[in-house]
Structure 1
Amino acid sequence: MEIRQIKYFMEVAKEEHVTEAAHRLHVAQSAVSRQIAKLEDELGVKLFLREGRSVRLTHAGKIFLQYAETAMDAMDKAVQAVDDYLNPEAGKIRLGFPNSLATKTLPRVISAFRSQYSDVGFDFNQGSNRELRELVQKGEIDLAFVSPVPEPSPDIETNIFFSEHMRALIPIHHRLSKQESLNLRDLMDDQFVLFRTGYDMRALVIEACRQVNFEPAVAFESDDAYTIKGLVEAGLGVSLLPETLLIDHTPMGTISIPISVPRVTRTVGVIITKTRPLPPSEKLFYEFLIKYYNRLNDFSF
Structure 2
Amino acid sequence: MLGYISKIMHIKEQMEQDAASITGGHTGTIRVGTFSSVSIKWLPQILKQFQQNYPSIQVELLEGGYEEVEHWINVGLVDLGFISVTPKNVHEVLILKKDRFVLLLPQGHALCRDGSITMEKIAAEPFIMPKKGCDAYIRKLFKERKLKPSIRFEIGDDHAIVALVQAGLGVSVLPEMTLPNSMDKVLSVYIGDEIYRTIGIAATSFTTLSPAAKKFLEVTEAWIIEERSFIR
Q: Please tell me the TM-score bracket, short chain as reference.
A: 0.7 to 0.9
2:185 corresponds to: 253
Q: Is the 8 A contact 2:125 2:171 kept in 1?
A: yes
What's the CA shift for 1:80?
A: 4.0
Q: Is the 8 A contact 2:10 2:76 kept in 1?
A: no
What's the CA shift for 1:96?
A: 1.0
TM-score (structure 1 length as normaliser): 0.64
What's the CA shift for 1:166?
A: 1.1
- String of CA shifts for 1:165-213, please: whole Å, max 9, x gaps: 21101222433234455223222222322233x72x2232223334554
Q: Does 1:291 align with 2:226?
A: no
Find the residue that maps to 1:177 and give its secondary structure: helix
Identity of paired residues, percent? Answer: 25
Q: 2:128 aligns with which of 178, 193, 218?
A: 193
Gapped runs of 5+ residues in structure 1? 1-66
TM-score (structure 2 length as normaliser): 0.80
Q: 1:128 aligns with which of 57, 61, 65?
A: 65
- The AA in structure 1 aligned to 2:94 is N
What's the CA shift for 1:92?
A: 2.3
- Map 1:20-169 → 2, pairs under 5 A: 80-85=13-18, 86=20, 89-147=26-84, 149-151=85-87, 156-169=91-104
What's the CA shift for 1:225?
A: 2.2
Q: Is the 8 A contact 1:179 1:257 kept in 2?
A: no
Q: In terms of Rg, which structure is larger?
A: 1
Gapped runs of 5+ residues in structure 2? none
Q: Is the 8 A contact 1:158 1:271 kept in 2?
A: yes
Bigger relative contact order, structure 1 or 2 (CA pairs below 8 A, ≥6 apart)? 2
Number of residue pairs aligned between Structure 1 and Structure 2: 228
1:63 corresponds to: none
Give the root-mean-square deviation of aligned CA atoms. Answer: 3.3
Distance of 2:160 and 2:11 partners within structure 1: 41
Q: 1:184 aligns with which of 89, 114, 119?
A: 119
Q: Does 1:203 align with 2:136?
A: yes
Q: Is the 8 A contact 1:158 1:272 kept in 2?
A: yes
